[in-house]
Chain A
Amino acid sequence: MIFNFFRNTAGAVREINQKYAKPHIEMTRGVRFSLGGLRFYLVLLVGIMVYKFITLLH
């Protein structure tokens, strides 16, 4: 049952990836790079926060 759930979910994710494979808003390379940079930066900040949280717990 659990195996079926994960298999179905993986199938659904593949379908979604295909459905939205082509973006409808064209982004220039600069915009994509900026978005990627911002995303990386924010994830890094969140990573630092998580590290801080864990160290505070101990």
Chain B
Amino acid sequence: MNILSKFYYRYRKILKTIRLYLIIAGPGIIVMVADNDAGGITTYTATGAQYSFHLIWFLILLGPVAYYVQEMTVRLGAVTKRGHAEAIFHSFGAFWGWFSLLDLVFLDWLTMITEFIGMTAAMSIFGVPPIVTVIVGWILMGTMVLQGRYWTWEKAALVFCGLNLIYIPAALMINPPVDKILHGSFIPHLPPGGFTNALFFLLMANIGTTIAPWMIFFQQSAVVDKGMQEKDMLWGKIDTAVGSFLTVVVAAGCVVLTATLLPGQMINDAATAAFRFLPINRYVGALLAIGLFDAGFLGAICISLASSWAFGEVFGWAHSLNHKVKEAPWFYAYYFFDLLLAGTVVLIPRAPLVLITLFVQVIAVTLLPAALVFLILLLNNEETMGEYKNTLFQNVANVGIVVMIIIISTLYGISAIFPKILGG
């Protein structure tokens, strides 16, 4: 009887813990999975096709990097109850605030275009014209926010996050070589051919798709909109850790797919990979296309929200998903304006879509250090953060990440302008 009651007690406790986690889970998983957006999926498929399984270890390393950056936004949001844009204005003044906001708006709009590029390219595989994809995308995105509850939006977004995991069963369906995957995952090494210019570009692109400025703004605002408190911080961190794990697993799934089915081929975008999968395995091709649409969709809704939240915080508009359209007209107006503008660019005939995608990744990596420096400074303010300020270890890790990104973005910029400088 005693054993039974103990077992029952433990069972109830575990159940309660899981229930509590499910209530608090959301911002971390959504931001991390949405990070595997259309540009990200393109980068991963290109990585697998060109370098087989040799770079999976690098993607695994990027998981903790993303976690360390995003975890800071959980603490900052839960303690200050301010979104990231407002926190920068409040702490550093209007001059730096406007710089950060303009960076965000510029980058978000560009990234949103790449999301629509991914969505239209994915659906074109099923014969859907771009204009239909864009309009249906707009309607779906509008429906998600117009019900006036953060909770409903979050759960709907989590469903799309679940769909993003489609790459895992797709990778399992093709019976990939497990020994090569394990070797590529746990033994860091350079691919045959060594350190070439092309390899350097792909490494940079992978970093650029793993951490992005919009993610910082999005997660902090989502933490605030959700009403997360200091006592919920541990769950917020677990949520972020689970999200970073999922983002790496999905990235590895994409790499495994193209490394197994399209080894040695040049892939410019994920839609081309899906198209080439069709004659080999039509189900896998279809799954990749569906996943690409989902990735673009998730990216678009999160990035547009990140911008709307930021503007709402700074301009003092009502800016919560818990508000109805009548209560927060400017917040929703900006959200839709962003989506309409980005979707329209994709419909311009003969727009250089692949070039735009590449350009956006380059700019995103380049502007990232500015956002990270402010984040670290905010997390070191004892007056605001108190016991939740960065520890020495967290500072070393985060400053290391910033320095690494500054070096890499500089090299990335130089190699973009002088492609032959690194050889290869």
Residues of chain A contacted by B369 (CB below 8 angstroms): 38, 42
Whether the pair A12, B355 counts as a contact (CB closer than 8 A) is no
A17 touches which one: B94, B99, B352 (CB < 8 A)?
B94
Whether the pair B97, A20 counts as a contact (CB closer than 8 A) is yes
Whether the pair A48, B93 counts as a contact (CB closer than 8 A) is no
Question: Using a Cβ–Cβ cut-off of 8 Å, how many residues does chain B contribute to the interface with A?
Answer: 32
Question: Using a Cβ–Cβ cut-off of 8 Å, how many residues does chain A contribute to the interface with B?
Answer: 24
Report how far A25 CA is from B379 CA in the complex, Å: 11
Q: By DSSP majority rule, is chain A's interface helix, strand, loop, or mixed?
A: helix
- Which of B43-51, B227-235, B410-418 sits within the interface? B410-418
Within the complex, what minimum Cβ distance (angstroms) separates A8 from chain B?
Answer: 11
Residue of A12, A20, A22, A49 with highest tally of chain B CB at under 10 A:
A20
Whether the pair B370, A49 counts as a contact (CB closer than 8 A) is no
Report how far A56 CA is from B417 CA in the complex, Å: 11
Count of A-B contacts with CB under 8 A? 67
Whether the pair A38, B93 counts as a contact (CB closer than 8 A) is no
Residues in B lying within 8 Å of A, measured CB to CB:
89-94, 96-97, 99, 314-316, 352, 355, 359, 362-363, 366-367, 369-370, 373, 377-378, 381, 384, 406, 409-410, 413, 416-417
14 contacts between A and B (CB under 8 A): A16-B94, A16-B315, A20-B93, A21-B93, A23-B96, A24-B91, A35-B373, A38-B406, A39-B99, A39-B370, A42-B367, A46-B363, A49-B359, A57-B355
Residues in A lying within 8 Å of B, measured CB to CB:
12, 16-17, 19-25, 27, 31, 35, 38-39, 42, 45-46, 48-49, 52-53, 56-57
